[in-house]
Amino acid sequence: METVVVDLVALIDVDDTLYPKGRGPFALVNHNIDLYVMDMCGMDLDAARSLRRTYICSYGSTLQGLMHEHGCDPVHYLKKVHDVPVEEILKPDPRLREALGRTGCRMAAFTNGSYEYARRILKALGVDDILAEVFSIEYMDFVPKPLSWGYLKAMHLFAAEPGRCLVVDDSEANVRTALELGMHGVKVGGGLAVTTSMDGSPSLLEGASHAPSDEGRAGSRSLSISTIYEIPRVVERLGCN
C-alpha cells in the first residue's frame, strides 16, 4: 500500500498503545510503584494504594505527589519503578513496524514513562528507528499526561499548531486533553482504562482521574481504533496534507 505524506505530527503513547493492553511490562511497573511507595512511606500495600489514589487525584501522578509531599528524587524513582525485564516480555513486531512506516507523517513517542524505559520498549518492538524522537516524562518536567503541560511543550518543540497534531493513546483521559487543546485524538482499544495488579486485584492507572469534561475545540477530531495497526488509515482520514 502506498504511503501518503501528510503535514501532521503524531504523538504516540507507548505502554498499552504500541502493544496490546495487558501484554507488556506496564503491570510490572505499576507493581514497582506500589513497592516504592510502601518503602518510602513505610506503609502496607492497601495504604500505599490509597495514598497513590490521593496523589493521582491531587497532583496527577504518584511521582508528583511524592515529589511535593516527600521530596522524592524523580530520577531515582523512575530508575527503580522501570526496572523491569522489557526485553523478555516484548519481541519485534513486523506488523507494527509496517503500520508506523506507512503513516507518512512525523512521529514521536509521547509517554509518561522514562526516556530510557521508552527507548527499551521501542527497541524491543523493533521500531526505535521509526519512533526515534521520544518525548518522555523528563521532558514534561515530570508533569504527566493528561495534564496539559506536556502537550503544550510538545507542540512548542515541534513548532506545530494544535490542528496539525494527533495524539494516539490508550487512555481516554489523555485523548480528551488533546481535544480540549484543539488537537486531534485517537483512542486505541475499547473499554475503560483498567489494569490489573500483580496480585490480580484492580489497580491504578496514573492520571486516569483527570479526564476533561468537554469534547474539545471546534475543528479537533476524535477517532477510535481497535489496535495501533490501524493508524495509517486514521492519518489518511484526517487529511491534514
Q: How many CA atoms lie within 13 A of 4 on its CB side?
A: 13
3 in any annotated domain: no
Residue 209 has pLDDT above 50, yes or no: no
Buried b (16+ CB within 10 A) or exposed e, 156-175: eebebebbbbbbbbbbbbbb
- The CATH number given to whatever domain includes residue 159 is 3.40.50.1000
Q: How confident is the model at residue 2 (pLDDT cuts 50, 70, 90)?
A: very low
Q: What is the pLDDT of residues 161-206, one digit of tens each?
A: 999 999 999 999 999 999 999 999 999 996 433 333 333 333 333 4
176 in any annotated domain: yes
Q: Report yes or no: 132 and 169 within 8 Å, Cβ to Cβ.
A: no
Q: pLDDT at position 219, please?
A: 58
115 in any annotated domain: yes
Q: What is the pLDDT of residues 121-142, one digit of tens each?
A: 999 999 999 999 999 999 999 9
Q: pLDDT at position 5, please?
A: 45
- Residue in this structure with the C-alpha cell 512548542, named with its chain if needed: 156
73 in any annotated domain: no
Residue 212 has pLDDT above 60, yes or no: no
Share of the chain above pLDDT 90, in %: 77
Q: pLDDT at position 202, please?
A: 33
Q: Which among 3-12, 42-51, 228-237 has the top mean pLDDT? A: 42-51
110 in any annotated domain: yes
Q: pLDDT at position 152, please?
A: 97
**One-letter-per-residue 3-state SS of 173-239:** HHHHHHHHCCCEEEEECCCCCCCECCCCCECCCCCCCCCCCCCCCCCCCEEEECCHHHHHHHHHHHC
Residue 4 has pLDDT above 70, yes or no: no
Average pLDDT, the chain: 87
- Residue in this structure with the C-alpha cell 505499576, named with its chain if needed: 30
Q: pLDDT at position 204, please?
A: 37
Q: What is the pLDDT of residues 65-112, one digit of tens each?
A: 999 999 999 999 999 999 999 999 999 999 999 999 999 899 999 999
Please give the grid coordinates belonging to residue 91: 519481541
230 in any annotated domain: yes
As for how many domains the chain has, the answer is 1
Query: Concatenated DSSP letters for 30-93?
Result: HHHHHHHHHHHHT--HHHHHHHHHHHHHHHSSHHHHHHHHH---HHHHHHHHT-S-HHHH----
DSSP 5: P
Domain region containing 168: 9-24+86-238
51 in any annotated domain: no
pTM of the model: 0.84
Q: Report yes or no: 144 and 63 within 8 Å, Cβ to Cβ.
A: yes
Report the chain's C-alpha Rg in angstroms: 17
SS3 label, residue 152: helix
205 Cβ contact partners less than 8 Å away, ≥ 6 residues apart: 30, 171, 193, 194, 195
Calculated CA dihedral for residues 81, 84, 86, 87, nearest 10 degrees? 150
77 in any annotated domain: no
Buried b (16+ CB within 10 A) or exposed e, 42-57: eeebeebbebbeebbe
Q: Report yes or no: 38 and 189 within 8 Å, Cβ to Cβ.
A: no
